[in-house]
Amino acid sequence: MRPSSNQKETPDGSMPSEDRLKLSWQWVAASSRRERCFEGLLLGCAVGEALSVARNRLSRRRALRMFGRKPLRYQFAAGSGIPSDRTHALLLTVQAILQSRADHRSFGRHLRKRVSWYRLGTPFRSLIRGFADIRSSSQIVSMPQQLTADPLIRAAAISLMIQGNQHANRWIETSTKQCSTNEVATELAMLVGNAIQIAQRLDSSESNISPMSALECLIAETESQQLKDQLAKLRPALGKSKSIASTAKSFGWIDGVPSSMDAIAIMAIYAWLRHFSRLRLAIEHAVLLGGECSAVAALTGALSGATLGKRAIPPEWLDKLTFFPHDKSWRRSLMSRVKDWPHGVEDIQQANAQPSQLAGQIARNCVFGCFSALHFLLRIPTYFMPLPPRKMSRG
């Protein structure tokens, strides 16, 4: 998939919407808009992941049996919102971009190094993955969590930062190949990148912008026919305002989203478009899908957050969210660098990423691993409990 500047027509032939939704990676957002989008993307990803991590990889019905329905709250660590590894993958990506001197090859090297030291804080998973790498003779460095969504989250960060560059697709390809050499993975990452480009350009208060026109734009920019067909299946669902759960069932994902990049990307994009101006509903229904709901909710939160900004996130979710070891001052400094990067040759050459909190990150990863082990033990009794009957949910 290539970043394109060709003008596309929307189904209704509306010229204002067409101009607004035309994808061009030559376009550069104003600093204030980029800062708002990045803050929303980061917080939305973190909130979506923190709300869903306790339910992740449980079937939809089993998750409802254990944790109930709405209103959602943080249930992983005593009421505190602790994002999983995908939010930290987003931060690692941004830091690697800042260190890259605007060169995608340098970005790949810095990202690989940062992923390597991040794995120090996950010794058990790193040991298991090390044995897997030996058996497969693979030289690919991957994140220590379920890999399917990481290229998608990284693509969201890259798309927000790499603007005014006709070769932006090389950055996403470099990121994706860190954990997958499949061409479909790169196509899906580019799909997310294009969605973020749309999110930065949209203002939900404008009546001439519709979710359907955004979907048509994504379909037009997609080169893979298989992916086009999957996105096209969203047209009737979006036109009839079908719920997110029923749309997942129409794809055959009856009791949870499977561990595949296409399923995660398709459902996150539909949740974003289905509740275009309502971040809370988009994230809530993504969390309740079951299966790989953490990946879907994180990506949904990133898309909705980039579109609507921090103001759309419920205060009760933000108040209990923790980014340890990255405090508010650290994140504010990072946003300050992101909003103006790059704005000149001197800036590119002198750019520095925020300092890494290595000791704190290792401590955080170990604590997160302990909570994960506790949740694994707590899940065991539920497999002997009867499940509630299947119902068609309403979105």
Domain residues for 285?
30-383
Q: Is residue 230 domain-resident?
A: yes
pLDDT computed for residue 384 by the predictor: 77
Which among 298, 264, 284 is positioned nearest to 42, based on CA atoms?
298
pLDDT digits over 277-296, tens only? Answer: 999 999 999 999 999 999 99
Q: What does the block give as tokens for 139?
A: 């030289």
- Residue 25 in any domain: the answer is no
291 beta partners: 257
Question: Positive or negative CA dihedral for 331, 93, 39, 370?
Answer: negative
- pLDDT of 196 above 90: yes
Per-chain mean pLDDT for the chain:
82
The total of structural domains in the chain comes to: 1
Asked if residue 85 belongs to a domain, the reply is: yes
Percent of the chain with pLDDT over 90: 49
Q: Does a structural domain hold residue 13?
A: no
What pTM was estimated for this model as a whole?
A: 0.86
In a domain, 73, yes or no: yes
Phi and psi dihedrals of 80, rounded to 5? -90, 140
Closest Cα partner for 299 from 219, 198, 196?
196
In a domain, 304, yes or no: yes
**232 within some domain:** yes
Mean pLDDT calculated for residue range 321-337 = 91
Q: What number is the average pLDDT over the span 1-18?
A: 40
Angle at alpha carbon of residue 275, lines to 284 and 9, rounded to 5°: 150
- Does residue 147 lie within any of the structural domains? yes
First to last CA, the chain: 32
- Helix, strand counts (H, E) of the chain: 20, 0
CATH of the domain at 280: 1.10.4080.10
Instruction: Determine contact, residues 43/321, Cβ cutoff 8 Å.
Output: yes
